[in-house]
Amino acid sequence: MAFGNKEVVRGIDFHLAPGEKLALVGESGSGKTVTALSLLGLVQNAAITGVARFAGAPDARGPRDLLSLPEQALRGIRGKEIAMVFQEPMTALNALFSVGDQIAEVLELHEGLSKEAAKAAAVQLLADTGIPEPARRARAFPHQLSGGQRQRAMIAMALACGPKLLLADEPTTALDVTLRGQILELLEDLRLKKGMAVLVITHDLNLVRRFADRVAVMENGCIVEQGAVGDVFAAPQHPYTRRLIDSRPVRDVSALAPAALTMPPVMQAQALRVSYPVPLPGLRGWFQKGEFVAVQGADFRIAQGQTLGVIGESGSGKSTLALAALGLLPFQGVLDVAGGVWQRKAAADKALRQSVQVVFQDPFSSLSPRMTIEEIVGEGLRIHAPAIGGDARQVQVLQALADVGLTPQQYPGLLGRYPHEFSGGQRQRIAIARALIVQPKLMVLDEPTSALDVTIQKQILHLLQALQRERGLSYLLITHDVEVIRAMAHEVLVMKDGAVVESGPIEQVLDAPQHEYTRVLVAAAA
């Protein structure tokens, strides 16, 4: 398949027997989503060659080539014989129609049911996916449902006409860890009941291990290895497959020196509480504002050279905790930072800012698109060491970039380049260099590798571990990935709905969890 002059995917051969589960694995840019979309003719402006034979309903005229079918015939197949479940349930569902209406639409279109019959069938389908109170949920709009419920609704929509093949594009990536297991079980149940084949596209190897029968590994538009899951994972042939399987984060954390524990901690919090004002409904809302507590009574202590991992799901308040630790949000309680306190005034806090720096999650929005790399990395020096002249500053910028592994030899003209020329992993390195150049004592890492591919994640974590060893940095590491915590942290804080449910040294929390929620988290990641 080619877009314009650029060949995106080539030489793809795979087969799928009825009732079989095939996983298409690869990193971003490998062409897996585009391959699946092309089967249904959903890719625009693409020049596609090749054959895709699909054996449809028993009364069809034998296997047909999907890639050469006219649009009219393809429309008959889409939704009825081949269905698709997309990655982001919020954007894949139409926000203006109720969920029941959207499912009924598929039934009216393909099965020719009347409106009432379709509505009733939609409620039944929702019930099959295990949503509680399906009749009420069918009348709800997508924004009124939670993420897991939306994904179930999408699955109901896809399975409405009993398709032979289900294409699932990263069906669980946007969901919380606890929900992923449930959705996978649901897919497995429904597959057994209907005898459906499933093509799962994913970059998550755990999902492949748990769910798929066979796996095809894609790199840069080609399938580099194919086979049964057990075989490929036990004895990977291709070097890329081996690299993928080896990309689980490796623990490389040096134990704390005993001296570090006696010295004053880099950060200490007692009864930390962060709340937002929210509008109240009704007449009361005219006179008062309600309060939403995002972080409730957190206590923690970070010594020098130590990493505190904060783990929790979306909405647990961990990012709010990070912003409060940086002094960017007002809070109540005691928060001691490197011997000082945040006063929430720009001039007074400036000196303290040098000690605490941050790396954010999204590498694409954390660097200003219109500033050169030199300006971005050198900004910290401009603020905190204005006496240094332009030349000396440039030397320090180059040194900081070299420390994170970016040198002008590899990237000519490095200092004059703009962020759009770098990949996600390289941008994250630039963000780390920006934080390092002012020589902080503590770095707040807010999901630093969540947006990166698995192999790149391993490199970045390795870099962070090396920096901690060399410079005695402390990290406040926020993440939802248990593997990352296992690789990086000394102590762990588990958060749920704003409260700290469990805390302690890593061996204690992850290997012998006390709280029910921690147990679920650890089990889901295993």
Q: Of these, 108, 349, 453, 502, which contacts other proteins (CB under 8 A)? A: 349
Q: Of these, 161, 415, 499, 524, which contacts other proteins (CB under 8 A)? A: 415
Longest dimension (CA), the chain: 81
Q: Answer whether 398's CB lies under 8 Å from 444's CB.
A: no
381 vs 140, 413, 431, 437, CA distance in Å? 53, 21, 14, 7
Q: 37 phi and psi, to 5 degrees?
A: -65, -30
Interacting span for other proteins (CB under 8 A) from 220-228, 362-370, 495-503, 507-515: 362-370
Q: Of these, 394, 396, 450, 455, which contacts other proteins (CB under 8 A)? A: 394
How far apart CA 402 and CA 441 sit, in angstroms, is: 20
CB atoms within 10 A of CB 437: 23
Q: Answer whether 151's CB lies under 8 Å from 89's CB.
A: yes
How far apart CA 32 and CA 222 sit, in angstroms, is: 9
Q: Answer whether 307's CB lies under 8 Å from 508's CB.
A: no
- How many residues bind to other proteins according to rule CB under 8 A? 43
307-326 residues in contact with other proteins (CB under 8 A) are 323, 326
Residue 412 binds to other proteins (criterion: CB under 8 A) = yes
The 8-class DSSP code of residue 145 comes to S
Interacting span for other proteins (CB under 8 A) from 156-164, 295-303, 388-396, 481-489: 388-396
How far apart CA 217 and CA 194 sit, in angstroms, is: 27
Residue 344 binds to other proteins (criterion: CB under 8 A) = no
The 8-class DSSP code of residue 223 comes to E
Q: 482 phi and psi, to 5 degrees?
A: -65, -35
Nearest-5° Cα angle at 91, 294 to 480: 40
Q: Of these, 254, 365, 399, 514, which contacts other proteins (CB under 8 A)? A: 365
Nearer to other proteins, 421 or 507 (CB): 421
Strand partners, 444: 358, 476
Run of H or E including 375 = helix 373-384
Tell me the per-residue interface mask from 417 to 446 with other proteins, x by CB under 8 A, - otherwise.
Answer: xx-xx---------x--x---x--------
Dihedral sign, Cα of residue 62, residue 68, residue 70, residue 76 = positive
Interacting span for other proteins (CB under 8 A) from 74-82, 124-132, 249-257, 354-362: 354-362
Interacting span for other proteins (CB under 8 A) from 128-136, 202-210, 232-240, 369-377: 369-377
Residue 369 binds to other proteins (criterion: CB under 8 A) = yes
Nearer to other proteins, 65 or 421 (CB): 421
Q: Of these, 57, 263, 395, 512, which contacts other proteins (CB under 8 A)? A: 395
| Contacting residues for 505 by C-beta, under 8 A, at least 6 apart | 490, 491, 492
Minimum Å gap between C-beta 286 and other proteins is 16
Q: Of these, 300, 331, 360, 517, which contacts other proteins (CB under 8 A)? A: 360
Interacting span for other proteins (CB under 8 A) from 171-179, 249-257, 290-298, 357-365: 357-365
Residue 65 one-letter amino acid: D
Tell me the per-residue interface mask from 269 to 308 with other proteins, x by CB under 8 A, - otherwise.
Answer: ----------------------------------------
Residue 367 one-letter amino acid: L
Residue 362 binds to other proteins (criterion: CB under 8 A) = yes
Residue 389 binds to other proteins (criterion: CB under 8 A) = no
Tell me the per-residue interface mask from 449 to 488 with other proteins, x by CB under 8 A, - otherwise.
Answer: ----------------------------------------
Chain mean position to CA 152? 19
| Contacting residues for 116 by C-beta, under 8 A, at least 6 apart | none
Residues of the shown chain interacting with other proteins in the complex, contacts defined by CB under 8 A: 323, 326, 328, 346, 349-350, 353-354, 356-358, 360-362, 365-372, 379-380, 383-384, 391, 394-395, 398, 408, 412-418, 420-421, 431, 434, 438
